Structures are given as C-alpha cells and as structure tokens.
Amino acid sequence: MAKLPQPVIQEVDFSKDGLVTIRQKSQGNQAELLLEFPTVYLVYDETKPAAYDVYVGETNNIEQRTQQHLLDDVHRRQDWKYLADSRSSKLLVIGHEHFNKSLTLDIENKMMLYMSGVASVKRLNNRRENQQNKYYTADERDTIFSKIWRKLNQFDQNLFPVESVIQDSALFKASPFHALTTEQEHARELILRRIEAVLRSNKGHQLILVEGEAGSGKTVLLSTLFYQLWQLGQDKNYSDFSVSQNYLLVNHDEQVKVYDNIARKLGMDTTHVSKPTRFINQHSAEAPADIVLVDEAHLLWTQGKQSYRGKNQLKDIIDRAKLTVAVFDPKQILKTEEYLTSNEIKALEAKVGQQGNLIKFKTQMRMNASEATTMWLRELIDRRVVSKIPKDDNYDLRIFDDPVEMYEAIKRKSTDEQSGLSRVLATFDWPYKSGSQEVDYVTVGNLSLPWNLQLPLAPEQRGQGKKLAWAEQNQTIGEVGSTYTIQGFDLNYSGVIIGPSVKYRDGKIIYDPKLSSNKRATERRTLSSGEKNFVYEDLLPNELNVLLTRGVNGLYIYAVDDELRSVLLAAAGK
C-alpha cells in the first residue's frame, strides 16, 4: 500500500462561531477537506477533571450538521442541550483525502469502539452502529484510523490515550462496536429475525443457544445485541412491536461490572444488567420480559443455592422471558452447582436444535496462535496427553523450570507498552478464604504471592477501583488470579501455575482432588437421579481449560508436579 496522506484535524469551540474559525485556521485545501468533503467529528466537554461527555458522528456537511445540533437537537435531547450550553465544549472535525461515505461510517464506528474503552469517557453519545461491508479504500481503514488517533492524542492525552491502553480495557473487549465476523453477523441476523417472529406471534418462552469455546466471540455478539435491542426500544418508529423489556444477565461479578459500565457509558438502563437470581426473584412467568440475554450461561446454577430457591436458573429464566438468548460453553462449567451431565447437555442441544435455535461458533479468535499450537493445547486439555510443542512465530508459548523466573517474565511483559496486560494465574490448589482479614498466598518454591482481590487498590486507581475488572487493577500484577476472577476475560500474556492437583502419570495427565482447594469442584453433586457422585473428573479439566486459554499473544506455564513439569520441558525441547 502506498504511503497514505495524513489526516487533517481542527479543534474549535462548539458554537455558532466555531465553524468560522475552521475557515480562518485552515491552509491550502484543508478548509475544503473539512467543510466540503465527508468528515468524522467529535463534540465533547470535560465535565470535571478527566471525565468527559462525548458525541461521535459523521457527516457530508459539517456546517449544516453543526447548525442542526445547535439549533434543533437542543430542543429534543438533553445531551445536546448540555453540550450547546457549556462554555467549554469543543468540536473536533476530522478530514482525510481518501474519505468517502462508507469509510467515514466505518471510522465513526471504530471511534465509538475506542471511546467505549477510554476510562475517562463517562458518557458516550451516538444513536447507531455503522459497520460497513466491502468498499473501495476499506483496506485503508485501520491505517487511517491509527494516524487519526495518534494526532488526536496530541490534543488531549486523557481523552485520547495511546491505543494499547485502550485495547487492554475490558470495556473495549466487550464493546458493542466491534466489527463482527461473518460468523457473528450471521448469528446476529438469525437472532434478530427470531426475536421479531416471537414478539409478533406472541409465542414465548423460547431459547436460542449460542455455543462456542473460549475466545470464539460470544460476548461481543451478546453485547452488540444488547445495544442494538436498546436502540430499537428507543426508536418508536422502528416497528409495531415492543422491544423495550430487554435484560442482560451474567453470573459473574467481574463481568457484571463490565456490562454495567458499558450500559452506564452509553446511557442505557443499568437496572437491566444483573445477576440471574435477582432477575428471577423480580420477574414472573405471568408478566415475562421481552428478551433476556445470558452471558456465560455455563455459570448458571443447576441446583438451589443461597437466595436462589429454584432447581435450574436457565429454566427459570426461560419461564420469565418471551425469548432467551444464552451463550454457552460446556468446557467452562467449573462448580458442582453449575454441573450438567453430558446427557443433559445433549438433550438441551437436541431440543433447541429441533427448533432451529442452536448456533455453534467454530472460529477461535482470542489467541493469535497457529492451528498447530491450538491443537497442542486441546490435546493437553481434552485428551490429557503432552506432545511436542510446535514452533509458532505468532504465539509465545514457554515452559518454565522456575516459578520466580516465570513471574519476572510476566512482570516485564506487563510494563512493556508493546506487550500490555499480563498477569499470573493458578489452579485453585492453595486455600483462599473469602472475607478473611488474613492474606492467603499461593506459594511455590521461592515464589509467594497473594491470591486475587487481596492487595489494596493502587493509589492512582482508587476513584474507579470497584468499576475495574481484576486484571485491570494495577496492583494485581502482585497477585495470582483464579478462574473466578479471570473467566470471560483476555490477557495479552498469561503465566499459569499448574498446581499439584494436576499430575502426569503413565503417559497421561490425571487430577488428584485431594490436592485441590476448590471444594466447589471436588465435593459430591446430587444428580437428577438422586445419586450423589463426584464430578471433579469433568470440572478440574475445565478449570485448566479456562486458565490456559486466556493469553492472546503468549502463554507461560510452570507445573508444580515434577513429572508433569519434566514432560512439559521435554516437549519444549529443554
């Protein structure tokens, strides 16, 4: 690709006189690019230090669109009235020689994606998502956007931080503004068609099941659907049926934080983001919600527990919704209270499959690993065999003989701007008492680190700590994460301590429940037949599966068991 021209960006006051300033400031063809060509623009105001309200848009006529915002939109929308009345609000107009309508729509969408991942943006306004298909100059989008973002960084580093900081954000990774893959797009269209059919026919209590392994794009699909359904509920002219009662549920405290923050930032109703028990207790089958989206449905309880008095959360949710969309990965079921037998899973799949409501994602998108590396991991986890580690130029898979050395390597990655978010994780083989005043440690050889959520928040994050996922908190580089904090999240590099419960004997990986501290995986489970059985042979491999599939660019492993560590080192050619 030939070297692309630089973008042209002008910042002026968001006022009637602001556009006059653009003409005065512009040189050469800059005024033409900004005032007569398609542009992308941002209107923003710093409402308090490092806290912004932002609107992102695109237009073929920035003068006409700005007048519309200042003269008309102020009477219809409170966000525009606030921006127009504020003396400190600014207008940023972005032009480029290669801009056409499709490209500006795509740049607008990607700007929304980035803004959703910026911690200082408290309110993000836009009323659409504009993913485009193929068009001339589509291959230039990412390069042009990076040039734009680097230039914006010179205007305000709080509002436009470096790209790597944004891309490490949990909000960015779960944002509804990601460009969907063909697989995700087909799933979205099918689900939206089924939603319309169900709501028009008034035939409720249906389930759509979306299956896929870790990193297959299930969360982005769900986030996109949640945002789009909210938009349809806001647009009274869209259709003659209501899509206003929509909920997003997830049985995971860290993920609830992420979705709550996304909803808050986009001006959505945060009461519609909750954990399943709360939704079940507040709704009835007689007055069902329209649509309920369930993320991480493998975490739903299949027995009564705490304030939940039922027997199956998924069934109770289906009873309280006209249509339920649940994303599900049986290889991520971790606790006895979530357990389903293989026959129960097959029966569920068969039932939704007969209705045409089973969607299976086959593409793994999290790990930048070759097919050979992915296959090596699947053989280790699923078949419990250790084969030779393949060479992979794009994925950094290392085996360590010293846990301290592995930790130091992860610490270096975490401070390297090119590497980004990196943390140490471990199987749940060391005791952890929730709510205890004493700190619980993971101790391996000369390495001793606290379990997750025990160190005090880093001073620079104390104002936002409760809203940040575990891995995003700066002090957690000094902790060890478990499946209970990292499930559903990405790391750029993960260092995994495989504890003593995972052994290698007679050519196979085996699991020793006596050496696990994960009582919720190793205790007996009462099955539907009334039998009480141990199910750790399913749950402990799932724990390992979750931990080993977090790293996007690299995975570092230290095994406590001598035989397992020895065979892994041999597999790495050490």
pLDDT tens digit sequence for 59-117: 999 999 999 999 999 998 888 999 999 999 999 999 999 999 999 999 999 999 999 99
Query: What are the boundaries of each domain within the chain?
Result: 8-167, 182-360, 371-571
Answer for the pair 285, 318: CB distance below 8 angstroms, yes or no. no
Question: Which tokens go with 554?
Answer: 């690299």
Task: Say yes or no to pLDDT of 131 above 70.
Answer: no
Q: 301: how many CB neighbours lie within 10 A of its CB?
A: 22
Q: For residue range 493-543, what is the model confidence (pLDDT) as tens digits?
A: 999 999 999 999 999 999 999 999 999 999 999 998 889 999 999 999 999
Share of the chain above pLDDT 90, in %: 78
**Strand duo 8-13 + 90-95: pairing:** antiparallel
Which amino acid is it at 398? R
Q: CA–CA distance from 180 to each of 129, 185, 265, 319 (Å)? A: 11, 6, 21, 30
Answer for the pair 491, 413: CB distance below 8 angstroms, yes or no. no
Task: Say yes or no to pLDDT of 55 above 70.
Answer: yes
Q: For residue range 148-158, what is the model confidence (pLDDT) as tens digits?
A: 999 999 999 99
pLDDT score, position 436: 75
Task: Say yes or no to pLDDT of 171 above 60.
Answer: yes
Rg (CA), the chain: 25
Q: For residue range 323-378, what is the model confidence (pLDDT) as tens digits?
A: 999 999 999 999 999 999 999 999 999 999 999 999 999 888 789 999 999 999 99
Q: What is the DSSP string of 190-206?
A: HHHHHHHHHHHHT---E
- When mean pLDDT is compared across 226-235, 262-271, 298-307, the lowest value belongs to 226-235
28 phi and psi angles, rounded to 5 deg: 60, -130
pLDDT score, position 245: 84
CA atoms within 13 A on the CB side of 147: 17
Q: For residue range 257-282, what is the model confidence (pLDDT) as tens digits?
A: 999 999 999 999 899 999 999 999 99
pLDDT score, position 410: 98
Task: Say yes or no to pLDDT of 396 above 60.
Answer: yes
Q: 34: how many CB neighbours lie within 10 A of its CB?
A: 23
Answer for the pair 131, 179: CB distance below 8 angstroms, yes or no. yes
CA atoms within 13 A on the CB side of 487: 27
Per-residue confidence band for 446, with pLDDT thresholds at 50, 70 and 90:
very high
pLDDT score, position 137: 78
Per-residue confidence band for 183, with pLDDT thresholds at 50, 70 and 90:
very high
CATH of domain 182-360: 3.40.50.300
pTM of the model: 0.92
Task: Say yes or no to pLDDT of 130 above 70.
Answer: no
| Domain 371-571 in the same topology as domain 182-360 | yes
Q: Which of 250, 380, 399 is nearest to 328 (CA)?
A: 250
Helix (H) or strand (E) holding 325: strand 321-328
Task: Say yes or no to pLDDT of 128 above 70.
Answer: no
H helical segments located in 133-291 = 141-153, 163-167, 170-173, 182-201, 218-234, 253-265, 276-282
Q: Mean pLDDT in the chain?
A: 92
Q: For residue range 450-505, what is the model confidence (pLDDT) as tens digits?
A: 999 999 988 888 777 677 899 999 999 999 999 999 999 999 999 999 999 999 99
Q: Taking residues 407-425, report their average pLDDT.
A: 94
Does the domain spanning 371-571 belong to CATH 1.10.1060?
no
Q: What is the DSSP string of 85-113?
A: H-SS-EEEEEE-TT--HHHHHHHHHHHHH
Q: Cα–Cα distance between 220 and 134 in angstroms, integer?
A: 21
Residue 271 gets which letter from DSSP?
A: G
533 phi and psi angles, rounded to 5 deg: -125, 155
